[in-house]
Amino acid sequence: MENKLGLSLKKIERAKSLALNITKPVQYFISCHTTTTIERAALRILGADGVDAENAPVANIAVASLKDSLQYGASMYYINALICQDVSPAELNLKIGKGLDISTIELTKPQKIKNAAAKLIASYKKQIDKNVKHRDKKLEEFKENEKSPLLYIIVATGNIHEDVKQAQAAAEQGADVIAVIRATAQSLLDYVPHGATDEGFCGTYATQENFRIMRAALDEVSEKEQRHIRLVNYCSGLCMPEIAAMGALERLDMMLNDSMYGILFRDINMQRTFVDQHFSRMINSHAGIVINTGEDNYLTTSDAYEKAYTVLASQLINARFAANAGLPPRLTGLGHAFEMDPKMENGFLYELAQARMAREIFPDYPLKYMPPTKFMTGNIFKSYAVNSMFNFASKATGQSIHLLGIFTEAIHTPHMQDRFFAIDNAKYVMNNMAAFFDEIEFKKNGIIAGRAKDVLDQTIEFLKTVKEKGLFNSIEDGLFADVKRDKAGGKGFDGVIKKADDYWNPVEDFLEKELDV
C-alpha cells in the first residue's frame, strides 16, 4: 500500500501496540466467563432447534433449566440427554419442547459424552466446509465481473418474502451486497424468533429460516447476473453468538459484528458483550464470514471532525479483538463514515484524509464506508450532491464495502427506484474517476496529509488514556461516543457466568483448535 499521506510507520505500530495492551485484560476476563447465549449457541451447533407450543426456543428452554449448572457448560447436559434417551437431536428437541428437563437426567460416563460430542461437531464441520467451498467456488467463477468497492444496500420491509423481491431487484440493478435490516429492537430480545416472518417494525426478524429463504433467492439472482451477491445480517445484541451460528449454517457472507456497539448504542452490558463477541467471531471466522464493525455510529453522537480519533481508536481495538478470535484481516471489515457537517469549509478534504488514513493503516482489511446521514435533509438535490461526493471519496481512497447513500432512507423504507438511483449514481461517479487516485499526490504539509497525521497523533494520546484507565473504566467514563455505561449495568448482565474449573464447551474447544487461538 503506497503511503501517500506520509504517515509515520513507527506511530502506526505504536497505536497497534497500545490496542493490543488495552485488550489483554479484557481478553483474560473473556477466557474466564461464558454467557447464556454462548451456551445456547453451542447447543444450536450441536443440533438444538425448534420451539415449544408457546414458541419458546428449545435452546432457551434447555439452558434455562440448567441454572447454576451452567458454570459447567450446557453442552454436557444436552449430549447426555441424547445418549440416555437414545434419540437424535431432532427427537430430543421435540421432547424438550414437550417438557423434558435435561438437568434432571443423571450424567453418564464422561468419555461417552465426549465421543458423542465429537460426532455432532464433525457433522457441523462438514456443513460449514461445504458452505465455504461453495462460496469460494462462486467467488472464483465470477471474479471477472466483480468491481471494488462492493455496492451495499439494505432491504427492510418486515416481510421476508417482500424483502426477497426488493433484494433481487437491487442485485439486478447492480448491488453486490444485500443487508436485511433487523426488526427494531430485536437486538434486545434474549431469544431468537423461529421460522419465516412476514411482519416486523422497520425491519425483518433475523431467523434461521429467513436466512435460508434469502440465501436461496440471492443464489438464484447470482447465477442470472454472474456475480456473487453477498448476504448480510446483524450478528449483534443479546443473541450475538446464536445468530453467528445460524448465519454460518445458512451460508451468509457478512455479519455486522462490533465489539462495543451493543454496549454504547443499545445499553447491553459490557461484560456480556465482550464475552459474546469473542465466541461469535470465532464462529464467523471458521465459516469464512466477513464481519463489519460499527464505528460509523460514533459519529451520530459525537462530532465527526472533533472526535475522529475515537473512530480510529475503535478500529484498532476492534481489529485486535478480531485477531484474538482468529479472524484474519481479510475477514475483518472495519467501519467508518462520511459524516462531517457539509457546511464546514474544506470538509471534503478532511473526509478524504480520514478515509485514506484508514486505508493506509489497515491495507489488508475490507474497509466498510458508511454514507452521510446526520446532516441530510429533505432537499433531494443537495442529498444527491452530498452522496455523489461520498461516492467519489470512497472510490478515490480505495474503500472495500460501500453502503450506498439513499436520501429517502431517513424518512421511510426506500422504494425500489430510490435504490436504483443510488446505485446508478455510484456506478457513474466511480466509473468516471476510476484511476483518479493513481494520478494524484498530496502536498507533504497540505491540509489532507496534515489532518491524517493529526488524527493519528490524537488517537495515540487517546489510547494511552484508555490503557491507563482500562477499557471497562473508559467506557464507564464516556470516552467512546460520549456515552457512559455501567460495568455492572445494562441489559443481559444476569446472563454472564464465571466458568467452573471443569467447565466444558466442545464447540469452543473445536473452534479454538481450528483457528489456533
- Catalytic (active site) residue 137: no
Q: Write down the pLDDT at residue 412.
A: 64
- Active-site hit among 234, 307, 368, 418: 368
Closest CA relative to residue 377, chosen from 352, 341, 351: 341
Q: Write down the pLDDT at residue 156.
A: 87
pLDDT tens digit string along 377-394? 888 889 899 999 999 999
The yes-or-no verdict on residue 408 having pLDDT over 80 is no
Tell me the one-letter amino acid at 124: Y
pLDDT band at 43 (very low <50, low <70, confident <90, very high): very high
pLDDT tens digit string along 257-286? 999 999 999 999 999 999 999 999 999 999
Domain spans of the chain? 146-448
pLDDT tens digit string along 417-470? 889 999 999 999 999 999 999 999 999 989 999 999 999 999 999 999 999 999
The yes-or-no verdict on residue 410 having pLDDT over 70 is no
Element (H, E) at 66: helix 58-66
Q: What is the mean pLDDT of residues 11-38?
A: 98
Dist. CA 249–CA 184, nearest whole Å: 24
pLDDT band at 409 (very low <50, low <70, confident <90, very high): low
pLDDT tens digit string along 57-92? 999 999 999 999 999 999 999 999 999 999 999 999
The yes-or-no verdict on residue 415 having pLDDT over 80 is no
Tell me the one-letter amino acid at 7: L
- Active-site hit among 78, 234, 261, 369: 261
- Catalytic (active site) residue 190: no
Backbone torsions φ then ψ of 152, nearest 5 degrees: -115, 125
- Catalytic (active site) residue 125: no
| CATH class of the domain at 146-448 | alpha beta
Closest CA relative to residue 260, chosen from 177, 215, 309, 322: 322
Contact 327, 283 (CB under 8 A): no
- Active-site hit among 205, 296, 298, 365: 296
Dist. CA 420–CA 171, nearest whole Å: 10
Closest CA relative to residue 250, chosen from 212, 207, 297, 301: 212
Contact 361, 403 (CB under 8 A): no
